[in-house]
Amino acid sequence: MKKIFKFCVLPVCIALSVTGCKKSFDELSVNNNVPNAVPASLLFNGVLNSMPDFPDSQKEIFSQYYLYNYDYYGNNRYDFGGGDNYYNTLKNVLAMEQQAAAAGLPAVNQYSAVGKFFRAYFFSQMSLQMGDIPMSQALKGKENLTPVYDSQKDVMKQCLTWLEEANTDMTAVITTGGSTLTGDIYLAGDLAKWRKVINTYHIRLLTELSKKTAEADLGVISQFAAIVGNPTKYPVMASADDNLQYTFVAPSNYYPMTPDNFGQNGSRKNSSTTYVSLLTGLKDPRTFVTNEPARDLVDNLKQSATAFNSFVGADPGLDLGVMYNNAGLQKYSFINRKRYYSTFTGEPSIQIGYAELMFNIAEGINRGWATGDAEAYYVKGIQASFASYGIPTGTGSFTAYFYRPGSTGTANIANYDTYNIDVDWAAYYGQATVKYTNDAAGLTKILQQKYLALFRHSGLESYFTYRRTGIPTFTTGPGTGNGSRIASRFQYPNSERTSNLDNYNKALQAQFGGNDDINGLMYILK
């Protein structure tokens, strides 16, 4: 998996070897010009910078939002390799907790509380990708270089416990007062917002376990009902202002797509029919913000640039050579240049967000996990997504920008044709394909709208949702490889084969018949 920014901050240990000196070794081993310990705040900042899943990565390809059409840059195959390895980041979480204690903070403090969230987040993300993983014996250093693999069920149980404890501990820290999180690039040290993030992620992780509600010791339904039913004890995100999101700042951290790399990258990926057809089938105004019309239909066949049938995505299963030729003939839509290529800071990259939370709660209520108004949450989720694009949620209009053929450069506003797009929320929501119904069809609508809202955000979450629900329908064929199958999991990192082979083989035997099989079903999918 490609990551654009990867910072790793480790505790500093200094060893000096000195001979022929009258000063004591202890005196010589201290360099007053070099810190011999990294403060918890700096380690915390490093962990935050290791956390984001940025857009324009292979993870968006796996979620079928858009597709490569040029094999020099990549392909659309589901031949999964190794999953994300967050163990170095987790070592920094451990060091952060230790340094907070060494600095004299109480046993329950802001860093220990957020540390439990980080443990739950990173261990669960690895398990969701790969299955069983080392957890209980991990992070021991030289004490244990070959940790056993914990079952995915045990990993999930422990992660849910950490999230419960993180909420309890953060509540205690807030009640005591006077604490903050220094170096917080996401929430400016606001502990109340971190508490909301913890509980919002708790809801997400419970939805990942939707196939395991019959297992009482996991407590999926009871935990979900407790969080949704007690907002005082378990506050969750109340608006997009609570999003855990990475904001790009020029010139130190550019958005992955900029005016500088447009010429090289702008036409190497085109939109996918999985995403575009869902938008156009719903007559969704987000079509005009995230995509551009297929120029062949507009320029040669004289269709309107704002007609929904002028937006066409490629079939992910197409042979890459065929897709390349069609893209060159402008038969497909491309990602909207104005929104995604015209600046160096783009839009914030949401890691855990309010709109997704609304759909997750709606899903749980639809499944009968808690009482409540699923439709109200569903509507809030759609409207939050609309608002993120500047689309009215009443009656109004917005301006669509489409890159003018033959233009040079994406930064100049003069290089775009503009169109006024009228919006009538009541008409949009009144469609039978959109309006919520409290049945299986209603669940499908929730999951479809969640998919649309997660465009460019939250890493593999759309893939994970498809994997457990089959919604939306993902397309396969020669271009997706893997025998026209959507892979079910990632393989283990190479480091496990080289340094923990015995336990690696035992884990494979216990789960997948001895093979690191990308099509094998992990526990949560059975």
Q: What average pLDDT does this structure show over 336-353?
A: 98
Give the count of domains, the chain: 2
Asked if residue 465 and residue 362 are part of one domain, the reply reads yes
Asked if residue 469 and residue 336 are part of one domain, the reply reads yes
Asked if residue 397 and residue 324 are part of one domain, the reply reads yes
| pLDDT on residue 3 | 39
Domain boundary among 481, 500, 517: 481
| pLDDT on residue 30 | 52
Write down the pTM of the prediction.
0.93
More confident call, 7 vs 250: 250
Asked if residue 215 and residue 183 are part of one domain, the reply reads yes
| pLDDT on residue 91 | 98
Asked if residue 344 and residue 314 are part of one domain, the reply reads yes
Share of the chain above pLDDT 90, in %: 90
Q: What region does 139 belong to: left with phi over 0, alpha with psi -120 to 50, or beta?
A: left
| pLDDT on residue 4 | 39
Please state whether the peptide bond connecting residue 472 to the residue before it is cis, i.e. omega within 30 degrees of 0.
yes
**Domain assignment of residue 10, yes or no:** no
The gap from C-alpha 338 to its chain's centroid, in whole angstroms, comes to: 23
**DSSP H/E element including 263:** helix 262-265
**What is the chain's length?**
526
Q: Where are the beta strands (DSSP E) in 259-387?
A: 269-271, 349-352
| pLDDT on residue 264 | 82
Residues 6+ apart with CB under 8 A from 407: 415, 416
**Domain assignment of residue 168, yes or no:** yes
| Residue 73 pLDDT level (bands cut at 50, 70, 90) | confident
What pLDDT digit, counting tens, does each position of 407-440 carry? 989 999 999 999 999 999 999 999 999 999 999 9
What secondary structure letter does DSSP report for 414? G
Asked if residue 426 and residue 342 are part of one domain, the reply reads yes
Asked if residue 425 and residue 498 are part of one domain, the reply reads no
What pLDDT digit, counting tens, does each position of 5-50 carry? 343 444 433 333 333 444 444 454 555 555 567 999 999 999 999 9
Residue 447 reports pLDDT greater than 80: yes
Residue 423 β-bridge partners: 396
| pLDDT on residue 31 | 56
**Domain assignment of residue 173, yes or no:** yes
Asked if residue 331 and residue 200 are part of one domain, the reply reads no
Q: What average pLDDT does this structure show over 249-272?
A: 93
User: Which CATH number covers residue 224?
Assistant: 1.25.40.390
Residue 192 reports pLDDT greater than 60: yes
What pLDDT digit, counting tens, does each position of 284-309 carry? 999 999 999 999 999 999 999 999 99
**Domain assignment of residue 132, yes or no:** yes
What pLDDT digit, counting tens, does each position of 459-491 carry? 999 999 999 999 999 999 999 999 999 999 999
**Domain assignment of residue 68, yes or no:** no
Asked if residue 307 and residue 176 are part of one domain, the reply reads no
| pLDDT on residue 37 | 78
Render 434-485 in DSSP notation, one character per residue. Answer: TS--SSHHHHHHHHHHHHHHTTT-STTHHHHHHHHH--SPPP-SGGG-GGG-
Asked if residue 470 and residue 496 are part of one domain, the reply reads no
**Domain assignment of residue 31, yes or no:** no
| CA-closest candidate to residue 313, choices 278, 370, 273, 343 | 273
**Domain assignment of residue 405, yes or no:** yes
**Domain assignment of residue 257, yes or no:** no
CA distance 324 to 315: 12
Residue 504 sits in which domain range? 85-236+491-526
End-to-end CA distance of the chain: 26
What pLDDT digit, counting tens, does each position of 139-174 carry? 998 999 999 999 999 999 999 999 999 999 999 999
Asked if residue 521 and residue 450 are part of one domain, the reply reads no
Calculate the average pLDDT of the chain: 94
Asked if residue 227 and residue 118 are part of one domain, the reply reads yes
What pLDDT digit, counting tens, does each position of 365-386 carry? 999 999 999 999 999 999 999 9
User: Which CATH number covers residue 371?
Assistant: 1.20.120.840
In this structure, which amino acid lies at residue 34? V
